[in-house]
């Protein structure tokens, strides 16, 4: 069980990094939001974007947490996959930062 909880914590940190980096890039005018749903919220207001991103993300994490005992292996695999996706997104943001510095 600690693996699932740790992966959920790591995913939360990665989501915050993505959120912050996305707001930075979009408001600097160097990028657009790739997710159409999140782009809708971002165009409405940065506050709506933050609320939607955190609300949807944390709702999903909470649902996974609720079912962690019943579907342990499946939840673990889902969290591993989500962490991999968000690590890739964070690497993408870091590579873009490197472009800024050069």
* pTM attached to this predicted model: 0.92
Q: What is the pLDDT of residue 90?
A: 96
State pLDDT tens for residues 3-32.
999 999 999 999 999 999 999 999 999 999
The packing angle between helices 36-44 and 46-66, to 10°, is: 140
Q: What is the pLDDT of residue 99?
A: 81
Q: What is the pLDDT of residue 101?
A: 80
Which carries the bigger pLDDT value, residue 61 or residue 97? 61
Are the C-beta atoms of residues 16 and 86 closer than 8 Å to each other?
no
């Amino acid at each position: 069980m600690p693996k699932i909880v740790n992966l959920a914590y790591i995913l939360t940190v990665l989501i915050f990094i993505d959120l912050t980096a996305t707001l930075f890039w979009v408001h600097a005018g160097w990028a657009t939001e790739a997710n159409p749903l999140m782009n809708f919220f971002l165009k409405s207001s940065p506050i709506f974007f933050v609320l939607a991103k955190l609300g949807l993300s944390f709702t999903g994490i909470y649902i996974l947490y609720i079912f962690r005992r019943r579907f342990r292996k499946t939840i673990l695999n889902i969290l591993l996959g989500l962490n991999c996706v968000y690590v890739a997104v964070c690497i993408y943001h870091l590579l873009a930062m490197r472009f800024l510095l050069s």
